[in-house]
Structure 1
Amino acid sequence: MKIVLVTGASKSIGYEVVKALLQSDESYHVFLGSRSLERGQQAVSTLRNECADSFGPRDKGCALKECPDCFNTVEAIQVDIASDLSIEKAFETVKASVGRIDVLINNAGVIKDLDCVRGKASLRESFTGSYDVNVAGTHVMTWTFMPLLLQSCDPRLIFVTGLVTFEESAREDFPLWPLERGWPKKVELETVGYRCTKTALNMLMLDYHHKLQMDGVKVWCVGPGFLATDVA
């Protein structure tokens, strides 16, 4: 059974990743990471209903050590990647429970650009806020959990980035058509800070790839495409 930890998994892309793992023919125990433990537990409850056929007869939401014969299992774990303390607590929880992870999927992220558009934050606050979570938070999460990942005989590290390559961004209509002359521009759906962080994650992925080559860790970035989610 492979052990997988998915951050930001109580909704949207992360939730669907967990759902796909639970419905897979492979056997997984999934740690569903969520900033709020309550929302994480609610997501787990919903998944048990949606994926009922994927669980073994003994699965009642128990932890892996308590239910070794279950085909697939899932449990919520509180982890806020904006908090070093939260990351450390999650690390200790997983270490005590299973002692390793086979796959770390860095999915958690936020979009702070709209806070500036709506007057809730300054331009600097919204921009650095996105970087603090999406880039620094992901880096700290990965760095902290690396000892557990290296305990796996087949370690995998995945970063959810996106369609933010320079080629894509060079399109005339990406992310929106040219605006009228004048300054400041009126952009109701601003995402430049978010897109910059996703580009930065590509570099972070490459750095981990170089550092971990001799450790046998397979490292990827994944672009899920343009999707309707409630990321905020």
Structure 2
Amino acid sequence: MNTVSRIALVTGATRGIGFETVRQLAENGVHTLLAGRNRERAVEAALKLQAQGLPVEAIVLDVTDAASIDAAVADVERRHGRLDILVNNAGIAIDAADKGVSGQSLETWRTTFDTNVFGLIAVTRAFLPLLHKSTAGRIVNVSSALGSVTLHADPSSFIYDFKIPAYNVSKSAVNAWTVQLAYELRDSTIKVNTIHPGYVKTEMNHVDGEQRGELEVPDGARTSVRLALIDDDGPNGGFYYLDEVLPW
């Protein structure tokens, strides 16, 4: 893909994989909007990348707030008139480790789905008109191998014992939404895929004072960036980790 003058937006981008995704897209020449719920944090993060000479802007976007989403869409339309790349990176994991599968509260399920599923869907629906104005729109939904029903049902799978129920099921829903949306967009210039970033050393994987991630953050952003920059002959409706196709 020719990245000259491309406009991208990354949600949940003030730190971790989202921040690194912004960096890597900008290093590829993409004008990237760094989105965060808190204006001060978004501006601070954007300024760090601007200081490195990268084409990055801050934008306020809370994926759980309809008014915030609408304001962000209006802001992008006013500034740029279109959107070429949307990376739905924002997500939370709040399961109680000692509650098991059936013991998680309904509040945990609802809060998790509000961000990881309904927020993602709301943001995507809101930005679709601007993505349709692109000559080659790209949507990347950040999921997880923990959302793979196939792998969870296989006792020999590397994730078989990682039952983080609300988080896992929310990512399964993201995968299912991606397949549905890819079908709708199959005859358009927009491609939508879902990705597994890997087991990354982020705050989400810092548990009880122990860092349980395996990959460095730059590696965790690589799959999102690769799918964001695919050419016209790239995939639509797939689930990827780097070049590997993952099972649903």
TM-score range, shorter-chain basis?
0.7 to 0.9
CA distance in 2, matches of 1:74, 1:47: 7
Residue 11 of structure 2: aligned partner: 7
SS of residue matched to 1:213: coil
Q: Which of residues 182, 189, 202 in structure 2 aligns to 1:229?
A: 202
In structure 1, the residue matched to 2:240 is: none
Select the residue among 101, 107, 123 that pairs with 2:105.
123
User: Percentage identity across aligned positions?
Assistant: 31
Q: What letter corresponds to residue 44 of structure 2 in structure 1?
A: Q
- Equivalent residues in 2 for 1:84-163, closer than 5 Å: 84-114=66-96, 123-163=105-145
Unaligned runs of 5+ residues in structure 1 are 56-71, 178-189
Whether contact under 8 Å (1:116, 1:126) holds in the other structure is: no
**Where do 5+ consecutive residues of structure 2 fail to align?**
206-248
Shift of 1:100: 0.4
Q: Which residue of 2 aligns with 1:46?
A: 48
Check the 8 A contact 2:91/2:115 in 1, yes or no. yes
Q: Residue type of the partner of 1:167?
A: T
Deviations 1:86-134 (A, max 9, x none): 10010111111101010011111111213996xxxx7000011101111
Q: Give the direction of change, closer, same or farther, for the CA distance of 1:86–1:228 in structure 2 (3 Å limit).
A: same
Secondary structure of the structure 1 residue equivalent to 2:186:
helix
1:212 to 162, 179, 185: 185
Q: What is the CA–CA distance in structure 1 between the aligned matches of 2:142 and 2:159, rounded to whole Å?
A: 20
Q: Which residue of 1 aligns with 2:149?
A: 166
Count how many residue pairs are aligned between Structure 1 and Structure 2: 195
List structure 1 segments (4+ residues) > 4 angstroms apart after TM superposition. none
**Is the partner of 2:187 in helix, strand or coil?**
helix
Query: What's the counterpart of residue 75 of structure 1?
Result: 57
Query: In 2, are the aligned partners of 1:109 and 1:231 still within 8 Å (CA)?
Result: no
2:173 counterpart of 1:200: yes
Cα offset for 1:226? 1.0
Between the aligned partners of 1:160 and 1:193, the Cα distance in structure 2 is 16
Give the RMSD, CA atoms, in angstroms.
Answer: 2.1
- CA shift in 2, pair 1:116/1:124, >3 Å: farther
Question: Quick one: which amino acid aligns to residue 41 of structure 1?
Answer: V
Query: Is the Cα contact below 8 Å between 2:6 and 2:31 reproduced in 1?
Result: yes
Q: In the alignment, which residue of structure 2 is the partner of 1:29? A: 31
CA contact (8 A) 1:158 1:219 kept: yes
- d(CA) in 1 for partners of 2:186, 2:175: 17
**Over alpha carbons, which structure has the higher Rg?**
1
